Amino acid sequence: MIHPLAEVYTKHIGEGTKIWQFSIVLEGASIGKDCNINCHTLIEGKAQLGDRVTVKPGVYVWDGVRLDDDVMVGPNATFTNDKWPKSKNSNYQLLETHVRRGVSIGANATILCGITIGEFALIAAGAVVTRNVPDRALMMGTPAAIKGWMNEDGTKMKEEVGFFLDNQGNHWKEEAGELIRL
């Protein structure tokens, strides 16, 4: 379903995807199946969205941003694609940002370019992500820091003495900013 008030110039849209009014999708953009692209969004031509991606209002997915399957981007979350933005910059370098499977990004979070956000991570509302994020990390603050670990279903892991327990009964240990399954 493409709303009649949307401007869609790409042919790479998967079955079951909905694109709502006042959205702009440029030629060359790739959008997977069963996605929900809310109103007042922009997806540039070199952006890639996997299957079952949700993009809430006020989000601009710039060239070089790749959102894998099952990613949710909250309202007014901001992506960048230039570390040193300047008008008429002849030295502009497109830096890619990769948001891996199952990630949720909260409202008004800012994601700087050139980083990877690991699978099932949760970026809290208003967080500013300036570096790579490990799988399952709960990131909060400015700059964002690890404040816990997430289950695949989006709930927070239970913290026990010396380890973390996921909702399937598996034990995990944090080592050097990464989560290791025991």
- Residue 85's pLDDT is what? 85
Pairing verdict, β 24-25 and 78-79: unpaired
The answer to the question of residue 173 being in a domain is: no
- In percent, how much of the chain has pLDDT > 90? 87
Rounded-to-integer distance, Cα 128 and Cα 4, Å = 35
120: CATH:
2.160.10.10
Overall average pLDDT of the 6-32 stretch: 98
Domains of the chain: total: 1
**Structure tokens given for 145:** 């820091």
Residue 181 and residue 146: Cα distance in Å, rounded?
A: 17
- Residue 68's pLDDT is 98
Task: Tell whether the model's pLDDT for residue 162 goes beyond 90.
Answer: no
Q: Kindly state whether residue 178 falls inside one of the protein's structural domains.
A: no
pLDDT value of position 83: 86
pTM for the predicted model, two decimal places = 0.94
Mean pLDDT of 24-51: 98
Contact 59, 76 (CB under 8 A): yes
In a domain, 83, yes or no: yes
Q: Is the peptide bond before 134 cis (omega within 30 degrees of 0)?
A: no
Domain-embedded: residue 23: yes
**Residue 55 belongs to domain spanning:** 7-154
Q: Is residue 160 part of a domain?
A: no
* pLDDT value at 5 more than 90: yes
pLDDT computed for residue 16 by the predictor: 98
pLDDT digits (tens, 9 = 90+) for 46-93: 999 999 999 999 999 999 999 999 999 999 999 998 888 888 888 888
Q: Is residue 182 part of a domain?
A: no
- Give me the pLDDT at residue 74, please: 98
Per-residue pLDDT band at 177 (split at 50, 70, 90): confident
Query: For the residues 26-33, what does the mean pLDDT come to?
Result: 98
User: From CA 9, how far away is CA 116, in angstroms rounded?
Assistant: 28
**Residue 53: inside a domain:** yes
Q: Kindly report, residue by residue over 38-48, the tens digit of the pLDDT.
A: 999 999 999 99
Across the chain, what does the average pLDDT equal?
Answer: 95
Q: What pLDDT score does 103 carry?
A: 98
